[in-house]
Amino acid sequence: MVSAKETGAQSWGLKGTRHQMSCELEVCPADGSPYRTRATQFVTETVAGALLPGRTVAIRYDPAKPTRVAIEGPVAPAVG
């Protein structure tokens, strides 16, 4: 993750408050060259607090349009 910031928008639901985050990502696909893109989406408070520059996050992307990404969540640091 290159950068992350809250947009100020919030959503409320059965699972609590969600914050809209705008994140610049460096995507490193297994079968291609790294590239940068941006994702803006609502995430839980827990995920919002874990989206920090330098952190690794799990994403999904559209193979037909690789800059279209969705953040699934932070990747836990390796233990050991």
7-51 pLDDT tens trace: 999 999 887 899 999 999 999 988 889 999 999 999 998 899 999
The model's pTM is: 0.83
* Per-residue burial over 9-28, b = 16 or more CB atoms within 10 Å of its CB, e = otherwise: eeeeeeeeebbbbebebebe
Confidence tier at 63 by pLDDT (50, 70, 90): confident
Please say if the pLDDT value at position 78 is more than 90.
no
Contact (Cβ atoms closer than 8 angstroms) between residue 40 and residue 21:
yes
What is the average per-residue pLDDT within 68-80? 79
